[in-house]
Structure 1
Amino acid sequence: MTTPGDNAKTALVEELNGLLADHLALFVKTKNFHWHVAGPRFRDLHLLFDEHAIEIRDQIDIIGERVRKLDANTITSIGSVAGKTQVKDQDDADLSAEAMIAELRDDNAAMVKRLKAMKPLAEQANDNATDGLIDDWTDMAEQRVWFLSQTLK
C-alpha cells in the first residue's frame, strides 16, 4: 500500500535526480566556458568559471549520496543526465565572454528556481536533512547568479 509519505518521497527523489543532472550538465558547461573564454577579461573569467565549476562539482556527490540515503537510485548515465536536466547544451566554443556569462547566469537562476520549488517536496516528505541542504545549495546558486550578474554590468 502506498502512503502519501511514499508519494512525497518519490517526488523528492525525482527532483533530486533532476538537480543532480543539472549539476552534472552545468559543471560540464562551466568547464567548457572556462577552457574557451577569450578576450581582454580572459584571466578573471577563466578563474571565475573555474571557481564556479569546482563549487558545482563538489555538490554532485552530496546530491547523489542524498538520493541513496533515501534508499533510491540515482541517475546512471549520460543519457539519464540528458533526459533529466534543464540545462541546455552549448557546443559553441566561440561564444563571446558576455554570452558565456549571461548563459551561466541564466542557468544558475533556473537552478535557484528549481531548488526553491523543491523546498515543499522536502517538507512534505518530512526530510529535514534534504530541506537544510536545499537551503545551502540555493544560497550557493544565488551567489553564482549575483557574481555573474555583476560581471555583466
Structure 2
Amino acid sequence: MKIDIGISDEGRVNVAEQLKILLADTYTLYMQTHNFHWNVTGPMFQQLHVLFEQQYNELALAVDEIAERIRTLDVAAPGTYKAFAELSSIEQVDGVPSAERMIERLLMGNEQVVKTCRRAMISAQEADDESSLALISDRMRVHEKTAWMLRASLS
C-alpha cells in the first residue's frame, strides 16, 4: 500500500538516507562504547565502566528508534555490520586503547554523530518532516551533552 504521510516520495527517501547514516554512526558508537565498557582498566575503571554502560544502554535504545523512523518513512533500514561499516563515518578502533584514549575516541565519536545529525536535519527540513527533525534534534542534544561530559573527564 502506498504511503501518504504528507512528505513527497523524494523527501522521504532523502531523509531516510540521512537517517541510515545516523543509524550506522549510532550503532558503530554503541559497539565501540560497549567494547570499551568491557575492556577499560586503570585507576578510573569503576567510574568509566559505569559511565560507558550508561552510554551504551542509551545508544541501544537510540538505534531502535532511528531504525523505526526509517521504516516509518517506508524505507528498509540497514541491519548488517557490512552496511554499517560502509555508511558510518566513525573510525574503527583496533586493539584496546588506554582509558584516556577510550575517552578521547568516544568524545570524537559523539562529536561525529552531532555532525551527522546536523546534515540529516537539512534533509528533514527540506522535506518538511517534523517527526524526523524532532528525533534528530533529540539525538543531537544527547550527543552534545555526552561529548561535554567526556571532554570534562579529560580536563
- TM-score between both structures, scaled by the size of structure 1: 0.93
- Structure-1 residue corresponding to 2:28: 25
Q: Which residue of 2 aligns with 1:126?
A: 128
Q: Distance in 1 between matches of 2:136 and 2:29?
A: 17
Q: Which residue of the partner structure matches residue 102 of structure 1?
A: 104
Other-structure match for 2:3 = none
Q: What pairs with 1:77-92 in structure 2 (closer than 5 Å)?
A: 77-92=80-95
Structure 2 unmatched ranges of 5 or more: 1-6
RMSD across aligned C-alpha pairs, in angstroms?
1.3
**Residue aligning to 1:76:** 79
Question: How many residues end up aligned between the 2 structures?
Answer: 149
Mapped to 2, the partners of 1:41 and 1:79 lie a distance apart of 33
The Cα of 1:72 is off from its aligned counterpart by 0.7
Name the residue aligned to 1:58: 61
Residue 117 of structure 2 aligns to which amino acid in structure 1? Answer: L
AA aligned opposite 1:141: H
The structural deviation recorded for 1:63 is 0.4
Q: Determine if the alignment matches structure 1 residue 47 to structure 2 residue 50.
A: yes
- Residue 149 of structure 1 aligns to a residue whose secondary structure is helix
Q: Secondary structure at the match of 1:76?
A: coil
TM-score, scaled relative to structure 2: 0.92
CA distance in 2, matches of 1:89, 1:26: 9
Determine which of 37, 41, 62 is the counterpart of 1:38: 41
**One-letter identity of the residue aligned with 1:63:** I
Identity of aligned residues (%): 34
